[in-house]
Structure 1
Amino acid sequence: MKLLTFSTLYPNSEQPSHGIFVETRLKYLLASGQAESRVVAPVPWFPSSSPRFGEYAVYNKVPRSEVRHGISITHPRYIVLPKIGMYVTPLMLAQSAKKEIGRIIDEGYDFDAIDAHYFYPDGVAAVMLGKYFNKPVVITARGTDINLIPQYSLPRRMILWAARNAKGIITVCQALKDEMVQLGVTPSSITPLRNGVDLQRFHVMDKAAARATLGLDRFTLLSVGLLNERKRHDLIISALPSLPDVQLLIAGSGPDRAKLEALTHQLGVADRVTFLGAVPQTELKLYYNAADLMVLASSREGWANVLLESMACGTPVVASNVWGTPEVVAAPEAGMLMPQHTPQGLVEAVRLLRERYPAREATRAYAERFNWDDTTQGQIDLFKKILVELAS
């Protein structure tokens, strides 16, 4: 099968961790030997790479084309319009990609289907492109594209239009399928295929050595994710006054860093919180192994890969009981869900888990149940079914 993978959520040389879950799933699919793919991963147009523009300047530095892990990727630019961007971005995405996709076809890669990731705006744009090039489209729903964006009426209508016109829909957890059905999408058109974990990259290391490398000397919580409101790092920080013997490492960058740092000083816990900044995927395993618990306090999640990454390193998790997370944290050796999504709920979960701390081998064994084999085969079966039906 020849696929064209289309998503704004895809890593590049300037943002190597951006949308890495899309790249990881694709790598395992291609490794099966039953599919090949070219990637079109649009990035916002930005006129300057000057440092004074902060994170926006990164977009200017992203190459027009590159190769990662043997996969050819192009990055056409699309315009983001202030204030109305949310509503016109699907059209802007589609327009930016038409010329690039046409060139790919003219060069001899006449693909069979479009493999799109993230329903809005990417999936809507992909369906527009599918109609233009007469190609079937499969869209993967991943989280906020379904559990948040449909709260806005126009995007909701466009999501439902894309769902009706896509040949297949994948959700990364059952909870997202249930939500799509509530929105009005036909259940039989949706296939839940959960994410897996890279068991080679994330593995158990010597814990004492990892802690010594990082200079850790207290019971350690690790939180991994963007520093924004949805990830609720503030909730974890707010729990620390009730956990006086605990230190917290926060791996991630984002707009809320100054606010979170101010909160640590306000609560008198700044000496027990370390902001690590963005940590490359290749280095995260050291932090997962060194930590005693990985905490995910998000208010919304589709399928949080960080949970399985931590478990694969033998470290159990405490997580908020939202969306697909109960499907990941589903046994005592995996960790525990917070009884309430509050600082006190986190305190209670941490204390209970410390009393019933699972063996690292058991936590690793649990993670091993989430390899990529079933998800890869599910994709192959779905694409083959669609292509056979179109050919008949």
Structure 2
Amino acid sequence: MLRVLTLATLFPDATRPNFGVFVERQTLGLAAHAEVELRLVAPIGLPPWPLSALSPYRALNGLPTRERWKGLDTHRPRFTTLPGTQGRWHVAALVRQLKPLLTEIRRDFAFDVIDAEFFFPDGPAAVALGRHFGVPVSIKARGADIHHWGRAQATARQVVAAGQKADGLLAVSAAMKADMAAIGLAVASIRVHHTGVDLARFTPGNPAGRRRFGVQGPLVMSLGALIPRKGHDIVIRAVASLPGVSLLIAGEGPQRAALEAEIVRLGVADRIRLLGPVPHDALPDLLAAADIMALASSSEGLANAWVEALACGTPIVITDAGGAAEVVRTPAAGRIVARESAAFARAIGELLATPPPRDETHKAAANFTWEANTAALHHHLSGLVAASSS
């Protein structure tokens, strides 16, 4: 029996049900494996009082420190994040909080391996804890953890050092593996570990279902936090240039006011809408109702939204970010275009004029299954434990 301690600062809770939902799904899959026992530690970073008493930290403060989350024995310890330090002290604070907690957990659960699900601050903390408890450590890279924290002046050294000391590394795409190598991590230690998609839930549907969302004509869907990196403004301008085409954007974030202002400025509020946060369970219907999913990211690892759209038979128009070329491998999957509105408008127009068969688009997601994800993760972690025991 493989005993896994999963460490994930990127994980949903009652106040943030969509936060790290794919880490959750991966963890649930591994926990359900017949040869695995798993405990989850999902730390929550909070600033010192009195800032921690303010919204939105107040809601996080109110979460239980231990609970059963979808059947998982879950600890949610708090660690201090100091504003204005660019994350420099996150790892030290996290290790300080986790050493006594993991000591307590080991009294009745002698975990064999620490599985860190985000590179920062999880990765460096996991390496320190792994050395302290004498167990191997795996760290998974997902996107911003390498593209931001792995290059930021205050944290880059910690990220690189952790990657060099970890017993094994995972990357969400081959492109992410190359990005990890570019910051100084050994290629030989990195295994590509693709995400999964629930092919029983994300299935091709009837595009006529878009009427439920108040849309009559062609529909473009976009998913992602309302932040500059996701490029929603680019897609908005692209769709605005296509008469009669509607756009729905699911997500929330600090760019909302600016995007709303852009929609008004372009005079397209009748056909471009921001939906706000949408529960993950509602996404299959949205994606199946769309003709196209478009996302103009400046960087990604391998976006789950890409794969979920394809599973619904909805082709994607995306930038050449991260693992884009590992997903868009056939014309039926969609288009990879330059990160500019004109290029997006052309690709969207082409796909609307000559849509690929939805069953052919669906096939592009066939290799991204949670079953394959679980099997690969179990093999990876078991190998680390075996190597550490030899």
Q: TM-score, normalised by structure 2?
A: 0.95
Q: Do the aligned residues in 1 keep the contact of 2:218 with 2:352 (CA within 8 Å)?
A: no
The one-letter code matched in structure 1 to 2:281 is T
Match of 1:68 in 2: 69
- Map residues 1-392 of structure 1 onto 2, 5 A cutoff: 1-45=2-46, 53-106=54-107, 108-208=108-208, 210-338=209-337, 340-392=338-390
Q: Say if 1:51 and 1:83 are closer, same or farther in 2 by CA, change over 3 A.
A: closer
Inter-partner Cα distance in structure 1 for 2:184 and 2:295: 30
Inter-partner Cα distance in structure 2 for 1:51 and 1:91: 19
Question: Deviation at 1:368?
Answer: 2.0
Question: Deviation at 1:52?
Answer: 9.9
Q: Do the aligned residues in 2 keep the contact of 1:147 with 1:176 (CA within 8 Å)?
A: no
* Local SS of the residue matching 2:332: coil
Q: Say if 1:53 and 1:239 are closer, same or farther in 2 by CA, change over 3 A.
A: farther
Question: Deviation at 1:34?
Answer: 2.2
Question: Deviation at 1:227?
Answer: 0.7
Q: Do the aligned residues in 2 keep the contact of 1:3 with 1:36 (CA within 8 Å)?
A: yes
Question: Deviation at 1:160?
Answer: 1.6
Question: Deviation at 1:86?
Answer: 1.1
Q: Do the aligned residues in 1 keep the contact of 2:329 with 2:364 (CA within 8 Å)?
A: no
* Local SS of the residue matching 1:270: coil
1:52-87 superposed Cα distances (whole Å, 9 cap, x missing partner) = 944333322322122222111111001110111411
The one-letter code matched in structure 2 to 1:377 is A
Q: Do the aligned residues in 1 keep the contact of 2:86 with 2:154 (CA within 8 Å)?
A: no
Overall identity of the aligned pairs, in %:
37
The one-letter code matched in structure 1 to 2:355 is Y
Inter-partner Cα distance in structure 1 for 2:190 and 2:3: 22
Q: Do the aligned residues in 1 keep the contact of 2:48 with 2:80 (CA within 8 Å)?
A: no
Inter-partner Cα distance in structure 1 for 2:18 and 2:92: 26
Question: Deviation at 1:137?
Answer: 0.6
Q: Say if 1:242 and 1:289 are closer, same or farther in 2 by CA, change over 3 A.
A: same
Q: Do the aligned residues in 1 keep the contact of 2:226 with 2:254 (CA within 8 Å)?
A: yes
Inter-partner Cα distance in structure 2 for 1:34 and 1:132: 25
The one-letter code matched in structure 2 to 1:198 is D
Q: Do the aligned residues in 1 keep the contact of 2:295 with 2:317 (CA within 8 Å)?
A: yes
Inter-partner Cα distance in structure 1 for 2:140 and 2:198: 19
Inter-partner Cα distance in structure 2 for 1:213 and 1:48: 45
Q: Do the aligned residues in 1 keep the contact of 2:46 with 2:52 (CA within 8 Å)?
A: no
1:18-62 superposed Cα distances (whole Å, 9 cap, x missing partner) = 101111112222333122211100112368999994433332232
The one-letter code matched in structure 1 to 2:33 is S
Inter-partner Cα distance in structure 2 for 1:320 and 1:56: 34
RMSD: 2.0
Q: Do the aligned residues in 2 keep the contact of 1:312 with 1:367 (CA within 8 Å)?
A: yes
Q: Do the aligned residues in 2 keep the contact of 1:231 with 1:298 (CA within 8 Å)?
A: yes
Inter-partner Cα distance in structure 2 for 1:96 and 1:255: 30
Is 352-361 or 114-123 further displaced after alignment? Answer: 352-361
Inter-partner Cα distance in structure 2 for 1:85 and 1:51: 17
Name the structure where helix makes up a greater proportion of residues.
1
Q: Say if 1:61 and 1:122 are closer, same or farther in 2 by CA, change over 3 A.
A: same
The one-letter code matched in structure 2 to 1:176 is M
* Local SS of the residue matching 1:151: coil
Inter-partner Cα distance in structure 2 for 1:226 and 1:82: 22
Gaps in structure 1 of 5+ consecutive residues: none
Q: Say if 1:9 and 1:217 are closer, same or farther in 2 by CA, change over 3 A.
A: same
Is 355-364 or 279-288 further displaced after alignment? Answer: 355-364
* Local SS of the residue matching 1:271: coil
1:271-326 superposed Cα distances (whole Å, 9 cap, x missing partner) = 22111111001111111111111111111100100111111112111111111122
Q: Do the aligned residues in 2 keep the contact of 1:49 with 1:61 (CA within 8 Å)?
A: no
Inter-partner Cα distance in structure 2 for 1:179 and 1:316: 26
Inter-partner Cα distance in structure 1 for 2:207 and 2:308: 15
Inter-partner Cα distance in structure 2 for 1:51 and 1:8: 17
Q: Say if 1:51 and 1:146 are closer, same or farther in 2 by CA, change over 3 A.
A: closer
The one-letter code matched in structure 2 to 1:236 is V
Question: Deviation at 1:109?
Answer: 0.8
Q: Say if 1:306 and 1:49 are closer, same or farther in 2 by CA, change over 3 A.
A: farther
Question: Deviation at 1:267?
Answer: 1.7
Question: Deviation at 1:358?
Answer: 0.9
Q: Do the aligned residues in 2 keep the contact of 1:64 with 1:75 (CA within 8 Å)?
A: yes
What is the aligned length?
A: 389
Question: Deviation at 1:207?
Answer: 2.9
1:251-279 superposed Cα distances (whole Å, 9 cap, x missing partner) = 01111111110111112222221111110
Question: Deviation at 1:201?
Answer: 2.4
Question: Deviation at 1:186?
Answer: 1.4
Q: Do the aligned residues in 1 keep the contact of 2:66 with 2:73 (CA within 8 Å)?
A: yes
Q: Say if 1:98 and 1:206 are closer, same or farther in 2 by CA, change over 3 A.
A: same
